[in-house]
Structure 1
């Protein structure tokens, strides 16, 4: 093993309409919104374009 730093590169996706997020209220400000895999992919791609890098594809869990 190496002493390379560990990067936790996960993200959270949620659908406000599906419920189950008691902690997520309008008091959370901009977090109080549905955030999908497609939105995450677009955000990552836009940021990579600005920095001259590449974006990793975000894989959603599909329809439930």
Structure 2
């Protein structure tokens, strides 16, 4: 499932970095902190690989 906004893509990238141990989990904020706990590495990779071109900056939650 691709990210729906640039903000989701960025948060997924930060969460993926923490999940792999490249970044401290304590450095994460907001959505990325929740993503690292609730999503698998494969799911985070799918979100982080989404291109930002044509994506809105933010998407309102449903």
Same fold per TM (> 0.5)? Answer: no
TM-score, normalized by length of structure 2?
A: 0.31
TM-score, normalized by length of structure 1?
A: 0.30
Is the radius of gyration larger for structure 1 or structure 2?
1
